[in-house]
Amino acid sequence: MEQTGNNETEALDDAASDPRASLRRGLTDEIKRLRRFSNRGLWALSLFLMVSTIAWRDFWFLPPAQEIVASLGAPPTPMVISLVLILYTFSAIILSLSRMMAGLRHSSSFCHVGYLLVFYLFYYFAEALPDNYWAVFGAGFTILCLESYRIWTFCSENILKKVAQLAYVERTGRLPVEDDSGLSD
């Protein structure tokens, strides 16, 4: 056990004395992090499919909608819920596309699952879930697929940059100079 601790200490000392090794380690850690992050959209989509399955079964674990309405009050009409769903869908798609164009790292996929769950619940309380299930499902699937694609492309582009930087570090022992010439146009 003591020898393992000494080997780790020696490896850290070697990395501290060799800047190339520390740069290499930092870049490989970032590549691993980006690879893990690229699956975030798929995890959100999987969670949405699970929530949709529960909604399809009419939220069997919740009390009947009449009991909830009696204690909370009347829900919005299905027409109002549908209008808000349309507004939310277009807003989420436009926001996701703008983030994709800007190349922003934003990880809000799980928030969409929560918003879509609320739509399912509002339709359930209004006793209109069977008629509107596919509207929520289609909107959610579209939004989450777009978010998943946005996160995946962001990560793929950055992984390619980090791999190129890693190759440059291997050749020269230092990071490449960042090219900011495209930002001033």
**Percent of the chain surpassing pLDDT 90:** 59
Residue 16 forms part of a structural domain: yes
Residue 40 forms part of a structural domain: yes
Residue with tokens 């582009």: 157
The model's pTM: 0.79
Residue 180 forms part of a structural domain: no
Q: Determine the structural domain holding residue 100 and report its residue range.
A: 2-173
Give the chain's domain count. Answer: 1
For residues 77 and 3, the model is more confident at: 77
Residue 105 forms part of a structural domain: yes
**So what's the pLDDT on residue 104?**
79
**So what's the pLDDT on residue 169?**
84
Residue 178 forms part of a structural domain: no
At 41, list the tokens. 């959209």
pLDDT band at 176 (very low <50, low <70, confident <90, very high): confident
Residue 157 forms part of a structural domain: yes
Residue 135 forms part of a structural domain: yes
Q: Give CA–CA dist 37/152, Å, rounded.
A: 8
Buried b (16+ CB within 10 A) or exposed e, 21-31: bebbebbeebb
pLDDT band at 95 (very low <50, low <70, confident <90, very high): very high
